[in-house]
């Protein structure tokens, strides 16, 4: 490869351009460039500087005629003018003159009918390795020779915007341009911005092809049964789907077509703060392997051993690794239509039951709401539990109106007769500070009984406040914790707090019901 292919973007007078380097060669580049450290047993430890997570206030979508009327214009999708984009891109092209670049040509989408060829141009070698880990690699040389990107990402973390000149909100920016099929990322070294930008792209195109794009994990049982796990950060989506008794399809982003479920990615991006070898053995092992990137994980400068319990840089420490680092995976990243859908929530108020069976219509409602709770101490300024709502369990990445995804989900659940469940991985026997977080052993037992079909055979009662069907028993789970009101001082106190949460749910849901398309489908409930 040479720089001629890059000249079509306007890139000229470049330094070296290193194209599709394999992992060992990228390690050499990273060490030579002083971008990271090799830790004991081979993982790479890097720092992301000021940004240890996404910058949601710095994400924009270029306003243009082809996509303008389709985009969900919101805090997550702020409009950006075409002229501003062109001017900023010109400044980036000038900045890159004489600089060394790294390029990876890869794919988003394991299903070849819907996969998107993506080219990522990086300023730094470790981010290029991140791309190589996270996306799907070309299977042979011929595929690379004939590669034609449908979307290109420019990731330039050391280029900082000038808000007064460029029209950004800060020095950092993530700008998607569907007309030019480009993404510009600058001013931030947090690697997750790259994968989430392409996820947003997939969320724009696939629903228009009647494919549901989902922020979820997925796995497969020995009989070929597929399960989907929706959930916001901290609910256990990655942990519960990485199950030694089942094969992992993917841990974060998937599509659901007329043929079944497929992974968007070729890797995993797991939170690793306080990860243990007993609680999450499969993910823990990836932190001890060559090729894994550890973001903001503490490392002893002498022994080069890592400390996963150290949160001195951030609670959001991450491991980015190829999915092949997990022992039991579905190699092609494709499964059938789901047999079970599990909506995960970490309810810190101790109100929702550990498990409930959902009708398709209630699934639709809870999917739109996307509820969990932020916990005290996990985020700056959060001193007590706070209800959090994220449409479709991934509002920051939904390019279209949430009702588009919710309606597609309901249609597919009804068509394929999928069993749907709510699983609370948060507090039982009272709220945060009084009750206790349900043990992961009980949650795993609940998941196991859902996926084996045992929970379909037990007796249920209907909850008075939320209308949920709650099982009276579940093998290997104490029956007394299945009733969320049982651990409270009085049923009256529980009911009072439950009504408050139910009112918050209803308020969020009514906002979505203003959407005319949603009104049509909810009239069937």
Strand partners, 436: 428
Report pTM. 0.93
Residues 6+ apart with CB under 8 A from 464: 495
Same domain for 24 and 170, yes or no, is yes
Q: pLDDT by residue (tens digit) across 231-289?
A: 998 898 989 999 989 999 999 999 999 999 999 999 999 999 999 998 889 999 999 99
In a domain, 43, yes or no: no
In a domain, 101, yes or no: yes
Q: Is 252 a catalytic residue?
A: yes
Helix or strand or coil: residue 132?
helix
Assign 432 a pLDDT band (cuts: 50, 70, 90). Answer: confident
Same domain for 203 and 317, yes or no, is no
Contact 311, 339 (CB under 8 A): no
Q: Is 237 a catalytic residue?
A: yes
CA 125, CA 103: separation in Å to the nearest integer?
Answer: 9
Same domain for 135 and 61, yes or no, is yes
In 3D space, the residue among 286, 259, 201, 269 whose CA is nearest the CA of residue 233 turns out to be 269
CA 517, CA 220: separation in Å to the nearest integer?
Answer: 33
Tell me how crowded residue 292 is: count the other CB atoms within 10 A of its CB.
26
Please pick, among 252, 339, 347, 463, the residue that the annotation labels catalytic. 252
Q: Is 238 a catalytic residue?
A: yes
SS (H, E, C) 59-98: EEEECCCCCCCCECCCCCCEEECHHHHHHHHHHHHHHHCC
CA 307, CA 275: separation in Å to the nearest integer?
Answer: 10
- Position 22 scores a pLDDT of 97
Please pick, among 48, 52, 54, 246, the residue that the annotation labels catalytic. 54
pLDDT of 523 over the 80 cut: no
Same domain for 203 and 283, yes or no, is no
In 3D space, the residue among 51, 53, 82 whose CA is nearest the CA of residue 65 turns out to be 82
CA 506, CA 95: separation in Å to the nearest integer?
Answer: 50
Q: Is 464 a catalytic residue?
A: no
- Position 95 scores a pLDDT of 98
453 phi/psi in degrees, rounded to 5: 95, 0
In 3D space, the residue among 79, 85, 55 whose CA is nearest the CA of residue 67 turns out to be 79
Same domain for 131 and 155, yes or no, is yes
Please pick, among 238, 317, 363, 388, the residue that the annotation labels catalytic. 238
Please pick, among 215, 271, 325, 357, the residue that the annotation labels catalytic. 215
CA 481, CA 35: separation in Å to the nearest integer?
Answer: 49
Q: pLDDT by residue (tens digit) across 66-102?
A: 999 999 999 999 999 999 999 999 999 999 999 999 9
* % of the chain with per-residue pLDDT over 90: 86
Strand partners, 372: 388
Domain final residue pick, 305, 325, 345: 325
- Position 264 scores a pLDDT of 98
4 vs 396, residue with greater confidence: 396
Please pick, among 195, 196, 325, 444, the residue that the annotation labels catalytic. 196
Domain final residue pick, 158, 189, 209: 209
Q: Which token pair is 516?
A: 């005319």
Strand partners, 18: 102
Q: Which token pair is 80?
A: 């950006």
Domain count, the chain: 3
In a domain, 237, yes or no: no
Q: Is 233 a catalytic residue?
A: yes
Contact 131, 120 (CB under 8 A): yes
- Position 14 scores a pLDDT of 95
| Averaged pLDDT of the chain | 93
Same domain for 320 and 345, yes or no, is no
CA 222, CA 216: separation in Å to the nearest integer?
Answer: 20
Contact 253, 245 (CB under 8 A): no
Helix or strand or coil: residue 249?
strand
In 3D space, the residue among 338, 352, 318 whose CA is nearest the CA of residue 230 turns out to be 338
How far from each other are the two terminal CA atoms of the chain, in whole angstroms?
57
Q: What is the CATH number of the domain that holds 309?
A: 2.170.8.10
Same domain for 18 and 94, yes or no, is yes
Q: What is the CATH number of the domain that holds 75?
A: 3.40.449.10
pLDDT of 308 over the 70 cut: yes
Q: pLDDT by residue (tens digit) across 10-55?
A: 999 999 999 999 999 999 999 999 999 999 999 999 999 999 999 9
In a domain, 177, yes or no: yes
CA 318, CA 45: separation in Å to the nearest integer?
Answer: 10
Domain extent for 135:
4-35+55-209
Same domain for 316 and 424, yes or no, is no
Tell me how crowded residue 159 is: count the other CB atoms within 10 A of its CB.
21
- Position 518 scores a pLDDT of 46
- Position 4 scores a pLDDT of 57
- What H or E segment, with its residue span, contains residue 212? strand 212-220
Q: Is 318 a catalytic residue?
A: yes
Same domain for 61 and 203, yes or no, is yes
In a domain, 262, yes or no: no
Q: pLDDT by residue (tens digit) across 336-386?
A: 999 999 999 999 999 999 999 999 999 999 999 999 997 644 444 445 778
In a domain, 508, yes or no: no
- What H or E segment, with its residue span, contains residue 26? helix 23-32
CA 445, CA 8: separation in Å to the nearest integer?
Answer: 55
CA 250, CA 229: separation in Å to the nearest integer?
Answer: 10
In a domain, 439, yes or no: yes
Same domain for 184 and 275, yes or no, is no
Q: pLDDT by residue (tens digit) across 448-497?
A: 999 999 999 999 999 989 999 999 999 999 999 999 998 898 999 999 99
- Position 515 scores a pLDDT of 56
Same domain for 356 and 460, yes or no, is yes
In a domain, 236, yes or no: no
Contact 219, 448 (CB under 8 A): no
Torsion of CA 211, 212, 213, 219, to 10 degrees: -100
Please pick, among 168, 233, 287, 372, the residue that the annotation labels catalytic. 233
How many Cα atoms are found within 13 Å in the side-chain-facing hemisphere of 362? 14
Please pick, among 59, 132, 237, 357, the residue that the annotation labels catalytic. 237
Same domain for 403 and 440, yes or no, is yes
CA distances from 344 to 150, 230, 231, 283, 431 (A): 34, 6, 5, 19, 17
Please pick, among 155, 318, 357, 374, the residue that the annotation labels catalytic. 318
Helix or strand or coil: residue 27?
helix
DSSP 206: G
Torsion of CA 478, 479, 482, 486, to 10 degrees: -100
CA 225, CA 453: separation in Å to the nearest integer?
Answer: 11
Q: What is the CATH number of the domain that holds 370?
A: 3.90.228.20
Number of H helices, E strands in the chain: 14, 31
Domain final residue pick, 280, 302, 325: 325
DSSP 38: E
205 phi/psi in degrees, rounded to 5: -80, -40
């Amino acid at each position: 490869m040479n720089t001629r292919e890059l000249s079509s973007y306007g890139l000229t007078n470049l330094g070296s351009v290193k194209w599709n380097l394999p992992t060992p060669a990228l390690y050499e580049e990273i060490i030579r460039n002083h971008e990271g450290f090799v830790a004991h047993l081979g993982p790479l430890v890097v720092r992301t500087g000021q940004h240890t997570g996404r910058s949601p206030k710095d994400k924009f979508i270029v306003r243009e005629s082809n996509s303008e009327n389709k985009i969900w214009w919101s805090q997550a999708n702020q409009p950006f003018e075409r002229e501003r984009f062109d001017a900023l891109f010109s400044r980036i092209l000038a900045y890159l003159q004489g600089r060394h670049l790294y390029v990876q040509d890869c794919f988003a989408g394991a299903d070849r009918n819907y996969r998107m060829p993506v080219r990522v141009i990086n300023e730094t070698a470790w981010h290029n390795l991140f791309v190589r880990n996270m996306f799907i690699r070309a299977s042979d040389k011929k595929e690379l020779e004939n590669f034609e990107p449908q979307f290109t990402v420019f990731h330039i973390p050391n280029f900082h915007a000038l808000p007064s000149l460029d029209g950004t909100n800060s020095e950092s920016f993530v700008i998607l341009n569907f007309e030019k099929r480009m993404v510009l990322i600058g001013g931030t070294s947090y690697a997750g911005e790259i994968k989430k930008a392409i996820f947003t792209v997939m969320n724009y195109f696939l629903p228009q092809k009647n494919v549901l794009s989902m922020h979820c994990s997925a796995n497969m049982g020995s009989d070929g049964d597929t399960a989907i796990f929706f959930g916001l950060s901290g609910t256990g989506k990655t942990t519960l789907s990485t199950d030694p008794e089942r094969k992992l399809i993917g841990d974060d982003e998937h599509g659901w077509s007329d043929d079944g479920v497929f992974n968007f990615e070729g890797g995993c991006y797991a939170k690793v703060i306080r990860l243990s070898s007993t609680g999450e053995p499969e993910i823990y092992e990836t932190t001890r392997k060559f090729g894994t990137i550890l973001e903001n994980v503490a490392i002893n400068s002498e022994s080069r051993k890592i400390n996963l319990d150290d949160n001195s840089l951030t609670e959001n420490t991450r491991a980015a690794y190829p999915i092949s680092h997990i022992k039991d995976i579905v190699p092609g990243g494709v499964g059938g239509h789901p047999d079970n859908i599990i909506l995960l929530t970490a309810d810190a108020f101790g109100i929702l039951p550990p498990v409930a069976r959902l009708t398709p219509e209630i699934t639709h409602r809870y999917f739109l709401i996307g509820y969990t709770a932020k916990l005290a101490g996990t985020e700056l300024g959060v001193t007590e539990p706070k209800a959090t709502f994220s449409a479709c369990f991934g509002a920051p990445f939904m390019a279209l109106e949430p009702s588009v995804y919710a309606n597609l989900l309901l249609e597919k659940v009804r068509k394929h007769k999928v069993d749907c469940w709510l699983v609370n991985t948060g507090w039982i026997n009272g709220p945060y500070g009084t009750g206790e977080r349900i043990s992961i052993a009980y949650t795993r037992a609940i998941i196991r009984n859902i996926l084996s079909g045992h929970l379909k055979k037990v007796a249920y009662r209907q909850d008075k406040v939320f209308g949920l069907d709650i099982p009276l028993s579940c093998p290997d789970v104490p029956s007394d914790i299945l009733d969320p009101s049982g651990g409270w001082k009085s049923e009256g106190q529980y009911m009072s707090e439950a009504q408050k949460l139910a009112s918050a749910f209803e308020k969020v849901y009514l906002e979505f019901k203003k959407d005319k398309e949603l009104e049509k489908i909810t009239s069937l409930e």
